Structure 1
Amino acid sequence: MRTTRALLPVLCGILILGAASPPAWGDEFTLEKFLEIPTLGAVSVSPDGSFVAYTWSRRDLEQDKRITRLWLGEVESGGTRQLTFTDDDVSAPAWRPDGALSFLRAVDGNSQVWVNPLDGTEPRPVTDIDGGVGAYWWSPDGSSLAVLADPAERADAADAENLADTEDEDREDWTVYDRIEKPQEYQQLWIVPVQKNGPDEDAEPRQLTFAPWHPYDAAWSPDGMSLAVTFNPRFSSLIDEEQQIALITVADGTTEVITPPDRHSSLPTWSPDGTRLAYFMDRESDYRAYLNLKDVMLRDMARGEVTDLTPETAWTLGGSGSTPEAAPQWGPQGRYLYLSAAEGTNLDLVRVDVRKGGIERVTALEGNLANLSVGGGAFAYVESALDKPGTLYAGRLGRKVRAIDSTDDAVAGFDLQPARKLRLPGHDGGFVEGFLFLPPGADENDRLPAIIEMHGGPFYRYGNAWTNRYPWQVLAQDGFAVFICNPRGGTGYGQEFLRGVYRDFGTDDYLDIMAAVDALVERGTIDPGRLGFTGYSYGGLMTDVVVSRTDRFKAAVSIAGIWNFVSAMGQNNSQLFIDSYRRPWDEDLQRMWEHSPASRAGDITTPTLVMHGLDDEPVDPRQSIEMFHYLQLNGVPSRLVLYPGEGHGINRPSHMIDYQTRELEWFRHYVLGVQDAAGAEPPLPVEP
């Protein structure tokens, strides 16, 4: 663990305690060991700034599940103690206004709000909601919770279905749709009275929002009279994303929408005195949500005046993606807003002066920041890097921070190489930033076999942050150079860069990647005759583009990718294409087809492994099935693997170890020429 770090004057310095110890296992960094590396997350600072609650989790391959524990750290002393010990899933730690700690605990898949008074007594549930709680927010006096839970009509429908199962064997078995999505599928906002030590048995939960609204997030006003709610006014978010903010009076449900429909707005947060409301909103109205930088807006609640506090910034605010991940957080005096922000591959803590506006960097981290929490004059966050799983830091605002807990020692015994940040020439005068992983003992001029990987999104980017999803370090241990890249179209590089793929998926971003590959070949880093390509989500789409436009790669692995833009528009990814191509029948359907990898299916010769979760909603698995059909019809060596019960992220440990093993062995066989690759045998010969 490092002992010094450069910090900006806002924090003054840092104190790090403890030393890393090697793991108990051997020093071979296998996929199994990679997937079981623990991580820290879900950070929440107490109202008085004395404590920080957080989660520790790891994948248990033997039990085939993720194990999560709740921990408590002391901000001043750095002491920690474990709070939960069962295998029940725990998440979303938060603080009741009186200082008791709450969290979601899922028992038999049903999540309820539990409270731990931290006085030595046992935690106990304070909600008992049919269908469970999706998210929750404490009222200022602690007497009620605002929760996201199933609407009443969904429970009624379930009761009716159960009754039909028992009474009518000849019941109707068809489904009628009046819209793409069914209203009862979305959780609604409820007000749930609670008592200090359990549910309020004398008061019924009250539903506050109703279809066609689709609420996402809520924030109580300091006086407890109203909620600022992020919602979609129309039910089908896959057709039009018109996320707005409304003020809802808690007593009677009276609603006032305060943001325009032509700019995506989200994640409101009240000033400590309740006179101002901060939130994110699209910078411009002429592009859809994904193609906009977000600004921090400030609304004067008495006058209704709105001020843009960050109109000139090129930073991506609120996280790494184009959609913010967490609300701005107020400092104790109401002068500053604190939030995470991405600039290039960096992700740091910044603050906004609500009187003057503008962005001021608070940290200059070596890694990337995540899980920021501010409260009671203190703050906490997790910092990780591509070779370090994560350390939780906490401290008083404006003072030194200390390390509270860390999982970095879990990799200390392995020979993991720090990733090297590169800035390479892109297409047409552009640039491509990314990170290069090298095998142990290798040098940048060793002409290594290489894997090139594209991120998802496309409105995202790779930063210097740990992930258990992509086995880059394992590939490097197996002898590959791995380059993960940020071509145009991603976040962190300003508005023009973000819009670099508008109506042009797989065109200039593809050329950016090829230019970067050329540069790595010219530098002598990678062997042009031993290359593989892979990606997940939009990275899967790019993989499909790559194999349809070039044969320079010996193998490819496409995961959860999009193959046919036209058919995808009629499946589950309408919003992505509406944002980027508008409605094709009003614009240019031919352009959409020509950009699709499917339009060049006859040119593909690269052996391609295709994988997808069967329950993927953002990208329908039929995209991968369709691609596989095309590959088989054309005699391309190929294999399709579908994972039941998995959505857009393949998360079950047994499925993760399977898909990552298949990826590794596919590249070992086709790129390295290993004939006895363990696990995933080569595909059967295909006759076109």
Structure 2
Amino acid sequence: MNRFAQFISAALLATPALATEETAKFSYDDVFNLEYASSPQFSNDSETIFYVRNFMDKMADKKRSNLWRIGADGSDHRPLTAGKYSDSSPQLSPDGKVLAFVSDRSGSAQIHLLWLDNGHFLQISHLPHYPAGLTWSPDGSMLAFSMFVPESKPLPVKLPTPPKGATWADKPVFIDRATYRADGRGYLKQGHSQIFVLPREGGTPRQITSGEFNHSGTLSWAPDGNAIYFSANRNPDHELEPGNSELYKANLTSGDIQPVTERYGPDYEPRLSPDGKYLAYLGYDDEHLGYHNVALNVLDLSQGTTRVIETATDRSVNQFRWLSDSKRIAYAYDDYGSTKIAITRLNGSEKLVAKDAGGLSLGRPYGGAHFDVSASGKVIYTHTDGMQPAELAITSGRQPQVLTSLNSDLLPFRDMAQVEEITYKSSYDGREIQGWVAYPPNFDPEKKYPLLLEIHGGPFANYGPRFAAEIQLFAAAGYVTLYTNPRGSTSYGHEFANLIHHNYPSQDYDDLISGVDALISQGYINEDQLYVTGGSGGGTLTAWIISKTDRFRAAVVAKPVINWESFVLTADYSRFFTKYWFSGMPWEKPEEYRRRSPLTYVGNVETPTLLLTGEQDYRTPISETEQFYQALKLRQVPTAMVRIPGASHGIAARPSQLIAKVASILYWFDEYKNEADEAEKPAVAVSDQ
């Protein structure tokens, strides 16, 4: 067994840490013991919260979940379901007596009902595919959901019939759709998502929509229960204009489907106000920019007029919920790397109620939060302070109250990395850049530490002071770990994000390197021990960085784009990338694609580089990784490639994959951290000209 195999095996077979100074650090095995809350929902009287408690099944190497309840004051915390199943999407019935949810406890994902008075639950569906967007009708007599409906198209060619007993190869697959595969789903089956309704008593679901369009996402019932509002792209050119969706109203009696909005751009997440007078939704006018701020819109159904609701200035709305008075809306948005929740009145006045939402991304410190709002205006939400995954918190008085402590059996007994915010000026134009530093346990500023720069993907995304197992593991291994939001990151407004419009990668390099220099200036970084890694867009930037400087002793490039020309022709959403990230097609603007491709500058790379990608990645296909790997091999630069079997772009979707990813990165850095280099030269910049 080679050293890499030994390193990974040791990581995956790690045993629970003992309470000693050496083993009390956050470890690989601790990943399997993490839990977090999601999908909170108030009871009708606002005294109880129902939520999903997520945990890891070590034997199956999967995330599982059960339904739990807790009092709004933190009391009576107990399970509603149990077992190593995936119970999700809880939806309280209008009368408050029953929870509908989706569970795989019968072997496939099906709709179940749970009676809250006696705890009994019953499967009411026998569906061939996963039901999504589960939503009660106003009178509680039906449930609406969307589900994939397969279609069968015969081959356009006539093939001979095999003789009896013959063993012939499988028939060819004929593909004529623009989007023929999708990351996480593989090669797509023929068919589309359609909307269904199912009686509360179960039975046969009735299909409401049809046609060669996908109908999914948030579903909202009309007050009389005779129509459903939804979002879809039903335009004739929907394959070439994937983001041009509208809101529609489907009549359940006649089957008629009428458009409710009409503009160029996405309109989605329709939600009727409790009084049925207004339809709120998210969307924006599409200008073919890399990034658009998402606005909260409200349509007056009686007047037919739409207005944009005043929300946080120059920030995107992530999600929203109506309050019971139909005059206020609670919404979430990202601001300077933190997820916040505010309540706004339709007349424009606003109140910030939470600024620490998140904790749903276990691997890396990305945004994302769930919340609900009570009749009295209290908000229950997933909370994180950077030291733990999502807990439940409720807005109560001046400061939110944290109700749960799902990891109290683990994290208090680990010496976790402390996370601290840092701001600095970019060397390119003096813009202020925000970042965070995770310090190794027992950090001593008088000592010298290796520095690990970890870069987020997207590129239109953001990191923040949120829990991240990968960051904690890097710090536990002794690395001061820096993660930042360079230009192009969201949560800083329209202009900052679009600094990389048709210009990525570019000066985001300067923003990142300036962060490294800012930390070096603090005096506790060993300048000869600099390391860099990142995934997706961060992998692209890692490859870009090592083509411009040899300051880093080693690099790990995870699931990158290396060659923009090949990427846009093999990625799952080619129509989006070519239209929004470039000014023309690769055969029209080859110089633009090549100027921005790390492959163009691979001749400058001297840094030992590990490449790491999932074999089923269709967002940044593994062929991108293979190009850079072969180029580095041809140049005789120390390199290796790690392929994660069965993994898509969400390379760390399973606990063992997250561990394997981090262990691979640390293995590579460890190989070069202690390498003797007597003739090491001073760092010099490498020109890209």
CA distance in 2, matches of 1:437, 1:467: 10
Contact 1:79 1:404 in 2 (8 A): no
Corresponding residue number in structure 2 for 1:351 = 343
* 1:259 partner amino acid: T
Deviations 1:172-196 (A, max 9, x none): 6111122223585554233232234
Distance 1:238 1:385 in 2: 42
The 2-side partners of 1:401 and 1:78 are apart by 16
Residues 546-561 of structure 1 correspond to what in structure 2 (within 5 A)? 546-561=545-560
Aligned equivalent of 1:392? 392
Question: Is 2:537 aligned against 1:538?
Answer: yes
Distance verdict in 2 for CA 1:223–1:395, change over 3 Å: farther
- Residue 440 of structure 1 is matched in structure 2 by 441
The alignment status of 1:336 with 2:333, answered yes or no, reads no
Shift of 1:448: 2.0
Contact between 2:178 and 2:239, CA under 8 Å: does it hold in 1? Answer: no
The answer to whether the Cα contact below 8 Å between 1:154 and 1:184 also exists between their aligned partners in 2 is no
Task: Report the CA distance shift for 1:545/1:522 in structure 2 as closer, same or farther (over 3 A).
Answer: same
Distance, in Å, in 2 between the alignment partners of 1:653 and 1:164 is: 45
Q: Which residue of 2 aligns with 1:30?
A: 27
> CA-to-partner distance for each residue in 1:229-253, whole Å, 9 max, x for gaps?
1223368668632233222222233
Q: Secondary structure at the match of 2:570?
A: coil
The 1:77/1:175 distance shift into structure 2, 3 A limit, reads: closer
Change (3 A) 1:261 1:185: farther
Do the aligned residues in 2 keep the contact of 1:23 with 1:413 (CA within 8 Å)?
no
Q: Distance in 1 between matches of 2:499 and 2:624?
A: 24
In structure 2, distance between residues paired with 1:300 and 1:661: 54
Hey, what's the Cα distance between the residues in 2 that align with 1:343 and 1:164?
Answer: 63
Aligned partners of 1:668 and 1:674 also within 8 Å: no
> 3-state DSSP class of the match of 1:388?
coil
| Paired residue type of 2:558 | I
Q: Give the secondary-structure state (helix, strand or coil) at the position aligned to 1:253.
A: coil
Q: Could you report, residue by residue, the CA deviation over 1:444-486 in whole angstroms, capped at 9, with x for unpaired residues?
A: 5644210001111111111111134xx2122212211000110
Written as runs of structure 1 = structure 2, the 5 A alignment for 1:273-292 is 273-282=275-284, 284-288=285-289, 290-292=290-292
Shift, 1:576, TM fit: 3.2
C-alpha contact 2:382 2:392 (8 A) present in aligned 1: yes
CA distance in 1 between counterparts of 2:242 and 2:82 reads: 43
In structure 2, the partner of 1:151 is: 149
TM-score when normalising by structure 1: 0.85
**Matched residues in 1 for 2:111 and 2:478: separation?**
47
C-alpha distance in 2 between matches for 1:648 and 1:70: 28
C-alpha distance in 1 between matches for 2:398 and 2:521: 47
Provide the residue aligned with 1:608 in structure 2.
609
Inter-partner Cα distance in structure 2 for 1:358 and 1:595 = 44
Q: For residues 311 and 577 of structure 1, do their structure 2 counterparts lie closer, same or farther at Cα, with a shift above 3 Å needed?
A: farther
> Which residue number corresponds to residue 417 of structure 1?
417
1:117-165 deviations in whole A, cap 9, x for unaligned? 11224211122111232332111122222212121526999xxxxx999
Residue in structure 2 matched with residue 682 of structure 1 by the alignment: none
1:141 aligns with 2:133: no
1:164/1:380 CA distance change after superposition, 3 Å: farther
- Identify which range, 230-239 or 450-459, moves more after superposition: 230-239
Which residue of the partner structure matches residue 321 of structure 1? none
* Kept after mapping to 2: 8 A contact 1:94/1:103: yes
Quick one: percent identity of the two aligned structures?
24
Q: What is the Cα deviation at residue 431 of structure 1?
A: 2.1
Once residues 79 and 141 of structure 1 are traced to their aligned partners in structure 2, the CA distance between those partners, rounded to angstroms, is 29
| Counterpart position of 1:595 | 596
Over 3 Å counting, the alpha-carbon distance change for 1:615 and 1:80 in structure 2 is same
Distance 1:382 1:615 in 2: 31
Cα deviation for residue 225 of structure 1 reads 2.3
Query: What is the CA RMSD across the aligned residues, in angstroms?
Result: 3.0
Q: Give the C-alpha shift of residue 353 in structure 1.
A: 1.1
Structure 1: distance between partners of 2:162 and 2:216: 31
Q: Distance in 1 between matches of 2:154 and 2:142?
A: 24
* 2:454 pairs with 1:453: yes
Name 1:3's counterpart in structure 2.
none
**Structure 1 position 476 matched with structure 2 position 479:** no
Counterpart residue number, 1:629: 630
Look up the match of 1:177.
Answer: 175
2:13 match: none
Cα–Cα, structure 1 residues 505 and 151, in superposed 2: closer, same or farther, change >3 Å? same
Question: How big is each residue's C-alpha offset from its partner over 1:88-128, in whole Å with a ceiling of 9 and x where there is no partner?
Answer: 21111111222211211014652111111112242111221
Within-5 A mapping of 1:499-518: 499-518=498-517
- CA shift, 1:224, in A, is 1.7
Pick closer, same or farther for the CA change 1:643–1:115 going to 2, 3 Å: same
Separation in 1 of the partners of 2:163 and 2:626? 34
Structure 2 counterpart of 1:17: none
- Over 3 Å counting, the alpha-carbon distance change for 1:561 and 1:298 in structure 2 is same
Distance 1:416 1:137 in 2: 40
Distance 1:224 1:73 in 2: 31
The one of 193, 198, 206 aligned to 1:188:
193
Say if 1:171 and 1:518 are closer, same or farther in 2 by CA, change over 3 A. closer
Q: Secondary structure at the match of 1:599?
A: helix
Which residue pairs with 2:686 in the alignment?
none
Would you say 1:656 and 2:658 are equivalent positions?
A: yes
> What amino acid sits opposite 2:267 in the alignment?
S
Q: Give the Cα–Cα distance (whole angstroms) in 2 for the partners of residues 154 and 47 of structure 1.
A: 45
Matches of 2:570 and 2:17, distance apart in 1: 46
**Equivalent residue number for residue 520 of structure 1:** 519
Partner deviation per Cα, 1:184-228 (whole Å, 9 max, x = no partner): 5554233232234xx12xx55224243134533322223222222
Question: 1:550 corresponds to which letter in structure 2?
Answer: T
* Alignment partners' CA distance in 1, 2:142 and 2:166: 41
Partner of residue 124, structure 1: 122
Distance 2:586 2:358 in 1: 45
SS in 1 for 2:541: helix
What does residue 81 of structure 2 align with?
84
The equivalent residue for 2:248 is 246
Q: Is the 8 A contact 2:358 2:382 kept in 1?
A: no
Deviations 1:490-543 (A, max 9, x none): 111011001011011110111211122222222324222111111111111111
Q: Which runs of 5+ in 2 are unaligned?
A: 1-15, 156-160, 181-187, 360-367, 678-689
CA distance in 1, matches of 2:621, 2:77: 43
Instruction: Name the stretch that deviates more: 439-448 or 34-43.
Output: 439-448
- Return the letter of the residue paired with 1:300: D
What residue number does 1:112 align with? 110
Change in 2 beyond 3 A, CA 1:547/1:164? farther
- Counterpart of 2:650 in 1: which secondary structure? coil
CA distance in 2 between partners of 1:547 and 1:592 (Å):
19
Match of 2:673 in 1: 671
Which stretch shifts more, 224-233 or 547-556? 224-233
| AA matched with 1:254 | D
Cα gap change, 1:367/1:136 in structure 2, threshold over 3 Å: closer, same or farther?
closer
Distance, in Å, in 1 between the alignment partners of 2:80 and 2:577 is: 41
SS, match of residue 406 in structure 1:
coil
Decide which of 75, 95, 98 is 1:98's aligned counterpart. 95
On the 8 A contact 1:164/1:171 being kept in 2, the answer is no
**Where in structure 2 are the equivalents of 1:211-250 lying within 5 Å?**
211-233=212-234, 240-250=242-252
- 2:265 aligns with 263
Deviates more, 1:650-659 or 1:83-92: 650-659
Q: How far apart, in 2, do the equivalents of 1:23 and 1:395 lie?
A: 36
More deviation, 652-661/504-513? 652-661
Match of 2:404 in 1: 405
Distance change in 2, residues 1:333/1:187 (3 Å):
same
User: Residue type matched to 1:132 in 2?
Assistant: Y
TM-score by length of 2: 0.85
Q: CA deviation at 1:570?
A: 0.2
2:538 alignment partner, SS class: helix
2:544/2:598 contact within 8 Å kept: yes
Separation in structure 2 between the aligned mates of residue 97 and residue 155 of structure 1, nearest angstrom: 41
- Aligned pairs for 1:301-380 (under 5 A) are 301-310=301-310, 313-318=313-318, 326=319, 328-354=320-346, 356-357=347-348, 359-365=350-356, 370-377=369-376, 378-380=378-380
What secondary structure sits across from 2:518 in the alignment?
helix
Kindly state the Cα deviation for residue 274 of structure 1 after the two structures are TM-superposed. Answer: 0.8
Distance 1:386 1:348 in 2: 14
Q: Output the amino acid matched with 1:333.
A: D
